[in-house]
């Protein structure tokens, strides 16, 4: 089984205009009666229990295998934190109704947030199912949405919420795969949801199934201080009864903190026995006693495969611009972990069997080092206006910048926001992945891999942009890897424009950055340069779907030879800017362009 963190890359969704209503009272009288989703279950998708013949997900006698779901810790009634939304896996046991075939039913849903997430899949034709529905709000207004569910057998691997290795059939258990998907659609900001009308039967004849739905967590009052993206699922250790002490650098500061861990791409659940946070002293030592983190009031937590966990808010002053130590104890045996590969930062690992050292102030229990960030994906603080997300590749990731010095261009941008008083002091979240592409996956999103280039920008969009804490603006700075490896300029531009449309549907400001030069790098041929120039020309053209454009190409190119980087900005490999080049990128940004309502 392979379970992945929920994302919506191939979910084609659009925000419909708000539909007029007379008054809240009149709308309430006209609205169909809303019922809980569980009261409307009319299909049985999970088999393999005491009633093996009772499940028929697709109308042909095939079903999901209960043992596979259980192995991922997706057990009946399990609350799953997925992309900032808490979804409850159906409480029904195998062989009992556990999902709804969408046909216009009205579901009671409550909450206020920026998006609505469906756990869904299509059956019947081998193709995706698409339909339109309506969200009704407590103030009497409503909005439309369009939901697309990939097929449970033939849908894409990279965007699946869960992939199971078996099917339950009338002949017994056979090899799969079988997949479920998460699809997120935008809501009207600040409006409390009252009900959701599901799409009616689709024109294609495919059945659109809904297992769960929920409103994304409302992050009002929180700002992202630090974040990273999961680039792959790597073999590790094995780590047995060890503590990771991970070093991260705060951006925004605040008086309260919460920490996010994710089990993205994992094949099995993981137990976090304990966790803590501290301001860093020297090396692995803390500047003061670490503070204990809790999860729903408990010191430890079990994270299902593909899910995440958000720690309880803790009264702990996070100073802006300081290194932090986030320590997590792994009491069991871990052989593979979701990681961010290119940390450009040294972290620490205790000896095997050393037990829980999360409360240690000194660093003596951490003799080994790490250059990746396993499991940890975010540190949030209270206060602040929200977050700017920088989505990019190795240049954003800080490859060939000075390790441990926090000289990536988003780091410099963070300092610029902190050092001014004219604009709100946004947090800047670095979602760069080395080797990442706009339209092509490097990592398939399935299983242990040595390729840590991540799934494509489109396929990680839901997780790495839309689900980020209080995201207000996204900067898109990708494309060089696509054009280097043969993707045409129109494909890259179409991919970036598609991301812009998805961002706008969710109320985000979208900034594109031109692709920087690379002549002299081993595969930067004349054909690559031609594609790069074509991408940049399209980005600079008026009406190119973006709210603003940052001309990073113009910042670092050599005026005497524009297809190459200015030597003073070159790290030496002719593709990645060094510290001076990264600082030049960040310094060139007009901060007003990044602020909604300013640029």
pLDDT of residue 163: 83
Mean pLDDT of 430-434: 98
pLDDT score of 18 more than 90? no
Angstrom distance (rounded) from CA 176 to CA 181: 16
Average pLDDT estimate for 529-557: 96
Q: How confident is the model at residue 109 (pLDDT cuts 50, 70, 90)?
A: very high
pLDDT confidence band for 8 (50 / 70 / 90):
very low
User: What are the extents of the domains in the chain?
Assistant: 2-215, 233-379, 385-599
Q: Is the pLDDT score of 505 beyond 90?
A: yes
Percent of the chain with pLDDT over 90: 86
What's residue 30's pLDDT?
A: 60
The confidence score (pLDDT) of residue 213 equals: 98
Q: In what order do the strands lie in the sheet with 509-513?
A: 427-432, 387-392, 471-477, 509-513, 548-550
CATH topology of domain 385-599: Rossmann fold (3.40.50)
Contact 486, 404 (CB under 8 A): no
Lowest mean pLDDT among 15-24, 331-340, 498-507: 15-24
pLDDT range class, residue 50, cuts 50, 70, 90: low
With cut-offs at 50, 70 and 90, classify the pLDDT of residue 532: very high
Closest of 432, 396, 431 to residue 412, by C-alpha: 396
pLDDT exceeds cutoff 50 at 3? no
Give the per-residue pLDDT at 148.
94
Question: Tokens 């997780």 sit at which residue?
Answer: 463
DSSP string, 140-209: S-EEEEEEEE-BTTTS-STTEEEEEEEEEETTEEEEEEEEEEEEEEE--TTPEEEEEEPP---TT--EEE
- Model confidence at 103, in pLDDT bands (50, 70, 90)? very high
The predicted model gives 563-583 an average pLDDT of 98
Query: d(Cα 208, Cα 368) in Å, to the nearest integer?
Result: 50
Tell me how far apart the alpha carbons of residues 45 and 496 are, in angstroms, rounded to a whole number: 37
Mean pLDDT of 49-62: 85
Q: Which two tokens stand for residue 403?
A: 């390790």
The predicted pLDDT at position 381 comes to 98
Q: Does the pLDDT at position 562 exceed 90?
A: yes
Asked whether residue 580 carries a pLDDT value surpassing 70, the answer given is yes
- Say if residue 233's pLDDT is above 50: yes
Confidence of residue 598 (pLDDT cuts 50, 70, 90): confident
pLDDT of 1 higher than 90: no
Task: Tell me phi and psi for residue 63, to 5 degrees.
Answer: -150, 170
Q: Would you state the pLDDT for residue 14? A: 35
Gap between the terminal Cα atoms of the chain: 47
The residue among 297 and 50 whose pLDDT is bigger is 297
Q: Would the pTM of this model clear 0.85, i.e. be above it? A: yes
What tokens appear for 472 in the block? Answer: 């207000």
Residue 12 has pLDDT above 80, yes or no: no
β 291-293/274-279 pair status: antiparallel
The mean pLDDT value of the chain amounts to 93
CA 4 to chain centre: 11
The structure tokens 């206060």 sit at: 383
Whether residue 515 has pLDDT greater than 70: yes
**Residue 597 CB neighbour total at 10 angstroms:** 7
Dihedral of the alpha carbons of 579, 584, 586, 591, in degrees to the nearest 10: 160
Q: Coil, strand, or helix at residue 74? A: coil
In the predicted model, is pLDDT for residue 28 greater than 90?
no
Residue 52's pLDDT band (cuts 50, 70, 90): low
Q: Containing H/E element for 505?
A: helix 489-505
DSSP annotation string for 428-442: EEEEE-TT--SSS-S
What number is the average pLDDT over the span 199-211?
89
On the question of pLDDT at 145 being above 60, the answer is: yes
| Mean pLDDT of all residues in 122-126 | 95
pLDDT for residue 576: 98
Eight-class DSSP state of 68: H
């Amino acid at each position: 089984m392979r379970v992945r963190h929920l994302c919506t890359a191939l979910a084609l969704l659009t925000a419909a205009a708000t539909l007029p209503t007379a008054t809240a009272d009149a709308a309430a009288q006209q609205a169909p009666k809303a019922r809980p989703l569980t009261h409307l279950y009319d299909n049985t998708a999970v088999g393999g229990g005491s009633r093996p013949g009772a499940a028929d997900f697709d109308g042909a006698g095939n079903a999901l295998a209960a043992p596979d779901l259980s192995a991922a810790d997706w057990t009946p009634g399990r609350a799953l934190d997925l992309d900032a939304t808490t979804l409850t896996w159906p409480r029904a046991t195998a062989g009992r109704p556990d999902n709804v075939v969408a046909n216009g039913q009205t579901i009671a849903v409550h909450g206020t947030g920026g998006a609505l997430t469906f756990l869904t899949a299509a059956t019947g034709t081998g193709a995706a199912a698409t339909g339109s529905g309506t969200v009704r709000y407590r103030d009497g207004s409503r909005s439309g949405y369009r939901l697309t569910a990939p097929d449970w057998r033939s849908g894409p691997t990279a965007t699946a919420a869960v992939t199971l290795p078996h099917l339950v059939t009338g002949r017994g258990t056979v090899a799969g795969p079988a997949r479920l998907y998460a699809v997120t659609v935008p809501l009207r900001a600040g409006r409390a949801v009252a009900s959701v009308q599901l799409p009616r039967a689709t024109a294609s004849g495919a059945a659109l199934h809904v297992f769960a739905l929920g409103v994304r967590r409302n992050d009002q009052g929180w700002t992202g201080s630090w974040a990273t993206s999961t680039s792959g699922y790597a073999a590790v250790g094995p780590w047995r009864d060890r503590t990771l002490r991970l070093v991260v650098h705060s951006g925004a500061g605040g008086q309260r903190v919460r920490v996010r861990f994710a089990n993205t791409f994992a094949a099995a659940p993981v137990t976090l026995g304990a966790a803590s946070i501290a301001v860093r002293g020297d090396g692995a030592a803390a500047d003061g006693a670490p503070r204990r983190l809790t999860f729903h009031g408990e010191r430890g937590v079990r994270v299902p495969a593909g899910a995440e966990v958000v720690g309880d808010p803790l009264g702990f002053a996070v100073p802006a611009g300081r290194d932090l130590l986030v320590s997590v104890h792994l009491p069991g045996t871990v052989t593979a972990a979701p990681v961010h590969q290119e940390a450009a930062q040294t972290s620490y690992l205790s000896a095997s069997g050393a037990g829980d050292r999360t409360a240690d102030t000194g660093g003596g229990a951490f003799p080994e080092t790490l250059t990746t960030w396993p499991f940890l994906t975010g540190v949030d603080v209270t206060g602040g206006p929200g977050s700017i997300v920088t989505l990019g590749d190795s240049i954003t990731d800080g490859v060939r910048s000075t390790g441990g010095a926090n000289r990536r261009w988003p780091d410099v941008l963070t300092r610029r926001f902190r050092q001014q008083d004219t604009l709100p002091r946004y947090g800047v979240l670095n979602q760069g992945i080395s080797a990442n592409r706009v339209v092509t996956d490097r990592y398939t999103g399935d299983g242990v891999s040595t390729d840590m280039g991540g799934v494509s920008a489109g396929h990680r969009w839901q997780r790495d942009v839309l689900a980020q804490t209080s995201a207000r603006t996204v900067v898109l700075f990708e494309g060089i890897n696509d054009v280097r490896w043969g993707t045409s300029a129109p494909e890259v531009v179409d991919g970036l424009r598609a991301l812009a449309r998805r961002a706008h549907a969710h109320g985000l400001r979208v900034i594109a950055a031109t692709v920087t030069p690379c002549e002299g790098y081993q595969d930067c041929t004349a054909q690559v340069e031609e594609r790069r120039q074509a991408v940049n020309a399209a980005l600079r053209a008026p009406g190119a779907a973006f709210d603003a454009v940052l001309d990073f190409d113009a910042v670092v190119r050599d005026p005497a030879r524009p297809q190459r980087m200015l030597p003073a900005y070159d790290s030496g490999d002719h593709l990645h800017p060094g510290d001076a080049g990264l600082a030049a990128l960040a310094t060139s940004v007009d901060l007003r362009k990044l602020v909604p309502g300013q640029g």
